[in-house]
Amino acid sequence: MREPLELLIDRLNTPIGELLIIADRDGKLRTIDWTDHEARMRRLLDRYYGKGCYTLTTARDPGGLTTAMRAYFKGDLDVIDKLPVATTGTPFQQAVWRALRKIRRGQTISYAELARRIGKPKAVRAAGLANGQNPISIVVPCHRVIGSNGTLTGYGGGLPRKKWLLEHEGALSAPLL
């Protein structure tokens, strides 16, 4: 039987709530979520890694990720572009999550554009579902995807946080692609 995956967890107070930062021993970000959604985060960890197949150990600033996220919230918006991530998911989800990382700060795209960017223009709903199952919010910037009509739709952390993140990045006034 293989050893459980050891994951390291830290917490960061931000202007929009306490953030949970989970990394592996190699310093790769595995998930980010808000403490008020910790139960959902644990369900996702169970789904992606298997119930009982990982451990969560409290650690201070694993891989420098807490420091990087603190810098992001203080205005160093580019810091998240360089953070190493490791996720598990279907090939379709992985394609969506890679496309999300290519959306530059200050920009938003629609779900239809997201589907087009992964070469599946008719899979708008599926792209939206994969976007919503992204385990690494902010760094894999699912908040940068909005409705085709420019409205803020769906964000696991809640629409007020999505609005704050987009304002923080200067994206709300940017044109929709």
Point out the residues that are catalytic. Answer: 142
Place of tokens 């709530």: 17
Residue 76: Cβ-neighbour burial (10 angstroms; 0-12, 13-18, 19+): exposed
H helices of the chain, in order, are 38-49, 65-73, 91-101, 111-117, 124-132, 159-168
Question: Strands 5-14, 54-58: parallel, antiparallel or unpaired by DSSP?
Answer: parallel
133-164: b or e for each residue (b if 16 or more CB lie within 10 Å)?
Answer: bbbbbbbbbbbbbbeeeeebebbbbeeebbeb
DSSP label at 172?
T
As given in the structure block, the two tokens for residue 61 are 């600033």
